[in-house]
Structure 1
Amino acid sequence: MTIAIDMTGKVALVTGAASGLGRAVALKLAQAGAALCIVDVNAEGLAETEGALADIGAQVLVHAADLSDPAACKGSVAAATARFGRLDALCNVAGLIYLAHSHEMAEELWHRTMAVNLTAPFMLSQAAIPHLLEAKGAIVNVASCASFIGEAYAAAYCATKAGLVNMTKAMAMEYMRKPIRINAVAPGGMITNIAVNYKLPEGCDIELLKRFSGMRGTVEVDDVADMVALLASPAGRGYHGNCISIDAGITAG
């Protein structure tokens, strides 16, 4: 069975859109007919995404912003609604990870992880919800398999992703009687800039890291993007308060 994802006439805001999963989500939604507000701190990467979206004829607003700043989160939503006059989907894809021995992690990196991975999705949602209620729209948060298992050297990352899943569920309950859908996806490891560029802490135990690599290998970015697009669209009408794991079995046992 093929599920038809139709976003014609709708507007989506996608964070982390300069590369990886965020770019893939933006492309999926554009192919389904959506106009896009793409947000990232990486202006150069946003320009590349804009070019890819232009190739398929999408309407695009490029908005470079550092989402560790709550004001920038609110400004991103304001920019999208000012340009397009509505907002139908918020896809909170942006995220980062710093691996460190917990007793050595810099306070600055702890706070930045919290700001980008957890506070930013809340602040973006807070600003977007009035518009999404009017449009009967959706929020999709990108969590991680690390929401459900402890991963060595990733205490901050695991904390934010677990928090994001429970925030999704709490907000879904709060708006249970309102015309909005709030869901999350929890991918396993994907080949993205985050995975390629993170640094291992000096003296780490490689065998501990291998425990979370997955026996079936990495997850395809496009597979996760397909699910995000589904949940963001009217085709995902049956989902609310869910977190869909797409991790090739990492959290199965």
Structure 2
Amino acid sequence: MSIKIDMTGKVAVVTGAASGLGRAVALSLAGAGAQLCLVDLNPEGLEETRGLLGAAGGEARVHVADLSEPAACAGAITAAVDAFGRLHALCNVAGVIYLANSHEMPEALWARTIAVNLTAPFLLSQAAIPHLLEAQGAIVNVASSAAFIGEAYAAAYCASKAGIVNMTKAMAMEYQRKPIRINAVAPGGMITNIAKDFRPPEGCDFDLLKRYTGFRGTVEVEDVAEMIALLASDAGRGFHGSCVTIDAGITAG
């Protein structure tokens, strides 16, 4: 069996597209023929991603937005539909992580983690669903292996990603009889800008942190991006309410 990811003539929104996994998803979807609306807080990174897509023959528009602000989520979907007239896929990739001792976690960082990682995907989906129903399209959320195991110093991140998994399943059940697919992927650790900016909390127990690195090392960003592209395309027609774990065995036991 061969799987062909074909997004020719289709439009996708990719959040977190200025770097890392979001950029890799944009490249994968563009390679499959999609027209893209790239969303991120970082305008320079967005333009760099658009330049990479243009060099590969892909068509993209950029939309700068801070997705921790609720109005910005609906605005991103409006920008995509205004630009292309339709929408077939929403890829909720943007995310943040702040490590801290739980008793010292600033309330503002807890709130921002939940806002970007959980509330924004919901609000983006809420705005996108009428268009996706019309196009018989798809939503792909990015969870994490941290949704399934407790990770020290990452209570906010774990809570947000566990929420994404069950939100995906709940929405999939709600739209079980409608022409839309809603799925998630749960990557393990990847070498992205988030990993490069890793800052362990002061006084942390590094033996606890090492438990989440896995025996087989990090996951390839491109592998996760390809799975997201598959779920966003008609090639993923058999998936609905799924969370595909890509973590090199971290959550196996």
Unaligned runs of 5+ in 1: none
TM-score normalized with structure 2 length: 0.99
Q: CA deviation at 1:137?
A: 0.1
2:192 maps to amino acid: T
1:208 partner letter: L
Shift of 1:56: 1.3
Corresponding residue number in structure 2 for 1:111: 111
User: C-alpha deviations, 1:53-83, integer Å up to 9, x for none?
Assistant: 1011111110010000010000000000001
Q: How do residues 231-246 of structure 1 correspond to structure 2 at under 5 angstroms?
A: 231-246=231-246
Q: Percent identity?
A: 76
Match of 2:41 in 1: 41
Structure 1 counterpart of 2:12: 12
Give the distance between the partners of 2:220 and 2:19, measured in 1 at CA: 14
Aligned residue in 2 for 1:216: 216
Name the SS for the 1:149 alignment partner: coil
Aligned-partner Cα distance in 2 for 1:184–1:40: 20
The separation in 2 between residues aligned to 1:157 and 1:151, in whole angstroms, is 9
SS for the counterpart of 2:53 is helix
Letter matched to residue 224 of structure 1: V
The equivalent of 2:74 in structure 1 is: 74
> Aligned residue for 2:172?
172
SS in 1 for 2:77: helix
Alpha-carbon separation, structure 2, partners of 1:151 and 1:220: 21
Q: Which residue of structure 2 lines up, in the alignment, with residue 187 of structure 1?
A: 187
**RMSD (Å), alpha carbons:** 0.5
Report the Cα distance in structure 2 between the residues aligned to 1:51 and 1:138, rounded to whole angstroms. Answer: 26
The list of structure 1 runs, each at least 4 consecutive aligned residues, that deviate by more than 2 angstroms after superposition, is: none
Structure 2 residue aligned with 1:144? 144
Q: Deviations over 1:115-141 (max 9, x none)?
A: 000000000000000000000000000
What is the match of residue 89 of structure 1? Answer: 89
Query: Does residue 101 of structure 2 align to residue 130 of structure 1?
Result: no
Give the match for residue 248 of structure 1. 248
The number of aligned residues is: 253
Q: Deviations over 1:171-223 (max 9, x none)?
A: 00000000000000000000000011021100000000001010000000000
Other-structure match for 2:230:
230
- CA–CA distance in structure 2, aligned partners of residues 59 and 229 of structure 1: 16
| Structure 2: gaps spanning 5 or more residues | none
Distance 2:199 2:43 in 1: 23
**CA–CA distance in structure 2, aligned partners of residues 206 and 198 of structure 1:** 13
CA–CA separation in structure 2 for the residues paired with 1:224 and 1:60: 21
Amino acid in structure 1 at the alignment position of 2:172: A
Supply the distance in 1 between the matched residues of 2:76 and 2:198 (Cα, whole angstroms). Answer: 27
Which amino acid in structure 1 is aligned with residue 169 of structure 2? K
Once the two structures are TM-superposed, the CA of residue 2 in structure 1 deviates from its matched residue by 3.0
What are the equivalent positions in structure 2 for 1:22-37 lying under 5 Å apart? 22-37=22-37
Distance 2:64 2:56 in 1: 21
Classify the secondary structure of the residue corresponding to 1:169. helix
- TM-superposed CA distance for 1:166, in Å, is 0.1
Cα distance in 2 for partners of 1:235, 1:2 equals 10
Q: Secondary structure at the match of 1:228?
A: helix
Where 1:133 maps in the other structure, the secondary structure is: helix
Structure-1-length-normalised TM-score: 0.99
